[in-house]
Structure 1
Amino acid sequence: MGWTSTDNNHEGYVAAIAPDGRLASGGVAEGMLVHGITGEYKPGGESDEEIVPDDLIMSWRGACTCGWQGEVWQRVLTPSEADFASRKAYCRPGDAAYVSLPVEDAVQDEWMIHIAPSEAILGVEAAVKEHRQSTRRLDKTVAAAKAAGASWADIGRAAGISRQAAHERWADK
């Protein structure tokens, strides 16, 4: 399962890490799909993929389509070795090499920090758009008020500025 940023420029997910460091793009019944052909593993569904058996996956990390990678979570083979604070997650041998929901949530939290600046920029872009629209609306409203006979003093007072500032701002519009 993955997550998509509001602007659709980032897609994050938990990636299993193959023994050679390649990140898995998903899983199938036989193991995890990794891009690239080494000849060491069974061919995957696509011509440029291999299937790394689940028992060979010993770590995971957050990944994003932009290239960002999160901190590594180590796979441990006994429940007593698991330590969330140390990024050690239990995954029973013989099971599919997927992380637990709490680990997935922690990776998503880390990814959310990664995309926070781009998400914040969306707010800036929206505010700028609203500002431009309101400026155009104000300009049209002032022009209508002037055409209806309002003075620059009246327009300035309504806008919270001086008569002279109103004239300088809107006289040429």
Structure 2
Amino acid sequence: MGWTSNDYQHEGYVAEIAPDGRLSGSSTSAGILFHGITGHYQPAGESDPNEEIVPHDLIMSWRGACTCGWQGELWRRVFTPEEADIATRKEYVPLGDAAYVSMEVEDAVQEEWHVHIAPSEAILGVEAAAKEHRQAGHRLDKTVAAAKAAGASWTDIGRAAGISRQAAHERWADK
């Protein structure tokens, strides 16, 4: 399960990490799929000829990942519930179980990913405000032209716009 930024430029997810350091892309019931063929693991088969399957029991860590290349901090697999500790990024997943993190860890990784995308999300707000500003400017220009055509003075237009008569004249006289 992953997350998508509002601008669709970032897709984040929890990635399983193969013993050789590769990050996962997806999984099967037999294990986790990793891109690239090393010859150390079972090939995924004809449907995924460039991937191989790493068994769940060989997954010893995870990290947040994003399609832009960002990677979060490492989470380590521990083998007893007593060793598990969110604060120190230790997740208990019993051997023999699928190597998927808990919702608690997934939520923590998602929060870390949100910090990663915060600047681009903030830029979306700037872009929206700038667009609204341009649109308002165009509406103001058309409204001033209509007011002038209807016989309004530069003094009245300036007062309505919150600027001086001279500033109103300088801004809109040539439009």
Taking structure 1 as the reference length, what is the TM-score of the superposition?
0.99
Q: Deviations over 1:109-130 (max 9, x none)?
A: 0000000000000000000000
Runs of 4+ in 1 over 4 A off after TM superposition: none
Structure 2: gaps spanning 5 or more residues: none
- CA drift of 1:36 comes to 0.6
| Identity score, percent | 76
Gaps of 5+ in 1: none
Q: 2:134 aligns with which of 123, 132, 135?
A: 132
Task: Name the CA distance, whole Å, in 2 between partners of 1:119 and 1:83.
Answer: 30
State the alpha-carbon separation in 2 of the partners of residues 98 and 141 from structure 1: 60
Q: Give the corresponding residue for 1:13.
A: 13
Q: Which TM-score applies when normalising by structure 2?
A: 0.98
Q: Which amino acid aligns with 2:170?
A: E
Matched, 1:94 2:96: yes
Task: Return the letter of the residue paired with 2:168.
Answer: A
Report how many residues are paired. Answer: 173
- Cα deviation digits, residues 76-97 of structure 1 (max 9, x gap): 0111111111100000110000
CA distance in 1, matches of 2:164, 2:24: 64
Matched, 1:78 2:83: no
The two structures, once aligned, show a CA RMSD in angstroms of 0.5
Partners of 2:86 and 2:7 in 1: CA distance:
31
What is the correspondence of 1:1-173 to structure 2 with a 5 Å cutoff?
A: 1-44=1-44, 45-173=47-175
